[in-house]
Every structure is written in structure tokens, then in C-alpha cells.
Structure 1
Amino acid sequence: MRLTDCRVLLTGASGGIGLALAEQLCARGAQVLAVSRQRDALAALSQRYPQRLSWVGADLRRAQERQRVLEAARDLGGVNLLVNAAGVNRFAMLEQMDDQQIEDMLTLNVTASLQLTRGLLPLLRQQSHALVVNVGSTYGSIGYPGYAAYCASKFALRGFSEALRRELADTSVNVLYVAPRATRTSMNSQAAMALNAELKVGMDEPETVAAAVIAAIEKDLSELYLGWPEKFFVRLNGMLPGLVDRALHKQLPIIRRFSTAHHGKDHP
């Protein structure tokens, strides 16, 4: 896709990967409808690109607010690029999470993306060529201790992307699934950052991820996995999951230690 021809609806636009995407899309000449709950983080970008960036405030977990986003997309004249980048993460063992935390994560990471995509499909199918981009995670392919609920949401998003791509194979709409590795954003708690440092996990900057996503959009790819050795472990987990089981079993005491220390601070 040529970015100068793109009218983009971008969720999660006010932080992390989403904000980096908003900036790079505008810089490359796309028209961007940014969706987020807060506008403050987008203020400087709006001043730099007043003709290219517009904003709609919405909590995508709420049906009425998703409808507001659909109406804004229609007012824009339709969109040919949907980027589902909104999401939430939490490093915690499943037993350390309560019902509301699990429900919020699954609702935002999965249900909201499915519902918004379904609502926008009639607009996307009107275009000569359109693309849905779902921002997933390496943890959408590897179940990792301390992220059971998050993995569940990203496994679901990966499956949704694959199935939707096949549903739309005879239309003008393609689906790109993006799987970043750990990324340096405020979504990661201090405990998650400390765990990554202890295990020497590689982390990418949001701008690096955004640049890779934009390159994949321009090439009209269907999948993008980021990071080494993460891409290797995704393949290994698919072929020989027992090897990954044994490797992660060795890490489990460290993961439990960081999770328990963090949980103790949150729940005295």
C-alpha cells in the first residue's frame, strides 16, 4: 500500500507503539484518525500535522463508544487501513489476578478488536484495496509463565487474524498480523522490566516496531514477527514444545520471585 493513499483508523494511538505509528504514518503522508481515551499525548503531533491527524475519544470496551468511532470513520470518507493497536498487558500469575482484571484484558485485547473490525468491514470492502493490521505479540505463539491471561488474548488475536484473512481471501481486504517481542513502553510494570533485565530479554523501542510495521504495510505482508531469537523460539515452540517447556521450567523460580514481589506491593 502507498501510505500517501491511506486513510487510517488507528486505535491505541496515545501511547507506546500506537503513538509511534501515529507519528510515522503522518510523516509519510497518511491521513490518520487516532482513537484513544486520552488526547494529551497526541497534542504535539496534532500541532505538527493538523491536516493529517484527527482524533476521536473512545473507550473501545464500550459498544456505544465503538459506534462513535465508526461514525467518525464514515465522516472521514471511509478508511482503507485499520490498525488495531489498542491493548493492555499485566505481568502476574493467573492466581494473582482478579475477575475484573482478566475481563478488562480480554475485552480490550480481543473483543473490542473483533467488534470494531466487524463494524468497519463494510467500509473497508468498498475500497479497491484495504488492510486490517492486528498488533499481537510473540506471546500470541508462546505461552509464557506470568502472562497466562495476556497470552490467551494474543493467541486469540492471532487466530482471529488467520481466520479473517482466509474469510476475506476473495475480497479486496487483506489482514496483517504483527508479533512484536518485548517493547519498551509504559504498559510494562516495573516488575516486568526487572524480570526482562534479569533474564536478559531483548527489548525494542516503539519507534523501531512502528517502522517495521509500516514497512510490512507497504509490502502488503500477511505476517510480521520481530526479534531474534524470539522468531526462532516461535518456530521451535510450534515443532518441539517440550523443549520450550523444559527451558521455561528452569526460569520459573525467577518468574515467580519477581511476580510475587510485585504482587506483594500491590496487595499488602
Structure 2
Amino acid sequence: MNLANRVAVVTGAGGGIGRATALALARRGCHLALADIDAAAVAAVAEEARRLGVRASHHHLDVADRGAVRAFPAQVDAAHGRVDLLVNNAGVALGGTFEQVHEDDFDWLMEINFHAVVRMTRAFLPRLRASDEARVVNVSSIYGIISPPGQSAYAASKFAVRGFSNALRHELEGSTVGVSVVHPGGVATAIAKNARVPKDAPQEDIARGRAIAQRLLRMAPHEAGETIVRGIEGRRARILVGSDAKIVSVLERLSPVHYWTLLKRATGR
């Protein structure tokens, strides 16, 4: 897929993987409509993109706001006149076992990580169908491949993104719209630091969980962004980001039931 002079919508573009993906697209001459709940952060990323020679608009958007999502395509139309690529990247994290996580927190995470992906896709699909070549890119996770304990809510949301993306790809087969699902491994973003945790969870457990997560987040965001955009260029249906995601993907296929036992033995944990 030639990305020069295309227009991409990227959510969660104010930092981390979203920012890195947006700038990797800009380096290829792709114009950008960047959205984030942090208005100042996304404005700064748009300015970085403009310095790379592309047109970039920035939009304050809460992807959990249904009305705001419905109104967003018209804003992109006004700024760019078309859309060829939708990158549903915005997401949040929530630690804790199923019994620890409050129902409201579980629903909060699903609203952002899954329902927003569906709504954004519904909102922009008519514009994407009008393009001669378009793509929906939904960011799942390594936890959309495996399901660790303490991640029941997050894994549920990322498996839902994976299932939705795969079914949508089959439904759009033969059209001008392709679908990619992205499974990042440990990318060094602030997602673990910013994760919600159960209010009554022991502080030592929270600190230990954050420390473990930070050790696993090793890949630089710009590497992740480049990997994702190369996958888009290659029209890949599944984009694995990082060696950890690739290894885990193979292990899960070989042992879909007992992979967690094998991982514990391999790591000594």
C-alpha cells in the first residue's frame, strides 16, 4: 500500500504507539487527522508531523463519548476531505484479578478498548469504502493472543478486538477496504504506569505488578510504529510487534491450553 498523499485517522495519537505510528506515517507522506483525549499532547504531535511536510489536523476526542465519535468524521471531512486509513489505537489498562476488579472499572475499560473501536469503525467505514484502497488497523495486544492471570479485563477487551477485526476482514473481502489487527508485545509506553488498579488491592501487590510490567516493556515506541506501518504497507492481516509477541504467538498455537504452565517453567515464575 502506497501511503503517500493518503489520509490517516489515528486515535490515541498523543503519545506512545499512537504518536510513533502517526510519525512513521508522516515520514511516508501520509496526511494525518490525529485524535486524543489529551488536547495539548496531540497538538504537539501534529506539529511534529507538519515539520515532516504533511498536513496534520489535531482533534480533542474522548473515544468513549458516543456523540463525539459520531461527529468526528465530519470534522475530518472538513480538514482533509477524505479518509484512507483508520488506526484504532486508543486504549487503557486495568490490573487485578476478576474478583478484585469492580464492575464499573471493567465496563470503563471495555468501553474504551473495544466498544470505541467498533464505533470508530462504524463511523468511518462509509468514507473508507469511498477510497480506491483503504484499511482499518485495530491495535490489540500480546494479551489478545494469551491471557495472563491478573489481566482478565484487559485480555477480554483485546481478544474482542482481535475477533471483531478478523470477522470484519472476512466480511469486507473483495472490497477496497482491508483490515489489519496489531499485536504489540512489550513496548516502552506509559500504559503500565497509568493503569487503573483495584482500590482495595494491597499496595505491595500493585507496586510489584507495575515493576514487572515495566521490565517487560522494552521495545522503543518508534520501532513499534515503524513495524506497524511496514505491516500496513504490506497489507498484512496480522501484525506482530516485537520478538516477544512472535514467540508467544507460536507457543500459543503449539499449546493453546497449557502455554501458561510452559511460560512459568521457562521464566522460573
Q: Given the two structures, how large is their TM-score scaled by the length of structure 2?
A: 0.86
Give CA deviations for 1:42-65 in whole Å, capped at 9, x if unaligned: 343333417521011111111111
The equivalent of 1:246 in structure 2 is 261
Aligned partner of residue 204 in structure 1, secondary structure? coil
Contact 1:125/1:172 (8 A) holds in 2: yes
Contact 1:58/1:68 (8 A) holds in 2: no
Contact 2:14/2:45 (8 A) holds in 1: no
- Matches of 1:222 and 1:62 in 2, distance apart? 28
Shift of 1:233: 2.4
2:226 equivalent among 211, 214, 225: 211
Aligned length: 252
1:231 maps to amino acid: K
Shift of 1:192: 4.1
Evaluate the alpha carbon distance shift between residue 66 and residue 229 of structure 1 in structure 2; reply closer, same or farther with a 3 A threshold. Answer: closer
Aligned partner of residue 94 in structure 2, secondary structure? coil
- Matches of 1:129 and 1:183 in 2, distance apart? 29
The equivalent of 2:212 in structure 1 is 195
Deviates more, 1:74-83 or 1:124-133: 74-83
Shift of 1:202: 6.1
Gaps of 5+ in 2: 194-206
2:142 maps to amino acid: T
The equivalent of 2:19 in structure 1 is 19
- Matches of 2:139 and 2:226 in 1, distance apart? 13
- Matches of 1:27 and 1:57 in 2, distance apart? 23
Contact 1:7/1:30 (8 A) holds in 2: yes
Aligned partner of residue 95 in structure 1, secondary structure? coil
* Equivalence map 1:181-192=2 (5 Å): 181-189=185-193, 191-192=208-209
Aligned partner of residue 71 in structure 1, secondary structure? helix
Give CA deviations for 1:84-112 in whole Å, capped at 9, x if unaligned: 00011122222222122111110111111
2:171 equivalent among 167, 172, 183: 167
Contact 2:183/2:245 (8 A) holds in 1: no
Aligned partner of residue 123 in structure 2, secondary structure? helix
Shift of 1:26: 2.0
The equivalent of 2:196 in structure 1 is none
Aligned partner of residue 152 in structure 1, secondary structure? helix
Contact 1:10/1:22 (8 A) holds in 2: yes
1:126 maps to amino acid: A
1:58 equivalent in alignment to 2:61 = yes
Shift of 1:22: 1.9
Evaluate the alpha carbon distance shift between residue 240 and residue 10 of structure 1 in structure 2; reply closer, same or farther with a 3 A threshold. Answer: same
The equivalent of 1:83 in structure 2 is 87
Evaluate the alpha carbon distance shift between residue 71 and residue 172 of structure 1 in structure 2; reply closer, same or farther with a 3 A threshold. Answer: same
Evaluate the alpha carbon distance shift between residue 229 and residue 85 of structure 1 in structure 2; reply closer, same or farther with a 3 A threshold. Answer: closer
2:100 equivalent among 79, 96, 119: 96
Contact 1:91/1:191 (8 A) holds in 2: no
Evaluate the alpha carbon distance shift between residue 93 and residue 251 of structure 1 in structure 2; reply closer, same or farther with a 3 A threshold. Answer: farther
1:221 maps to amino acid: R
Please report the RMSD computed on the Cα atoms of aligned residues, expressed in angstroms: 2.2
- Matches of 1:47 and 1:70 in 2, distance apart? 21
More helix by share: 1
The equivalent of 2:10 in structure 1 is 10
The equivalent of 1:68 in structure 2 is 71
Aligned partner of residue 173 in structure 2, secondary structure? coil
Shift of 1:140: 0.3
Deviates more, 1:36-45 or 1:203-212: 36-45
Aligned partner of residue 18 in structure 1, secondary structure? helix
Contact 2:114/2:161 (8 A) holds in 1: yes
* Equivalence map 1:151-162=2 (5 Å): 151-162=155-166
Aligned partner of residue 189 in structure 2, secondary structure? coil
Gaps of 5+ in 1: 255-268
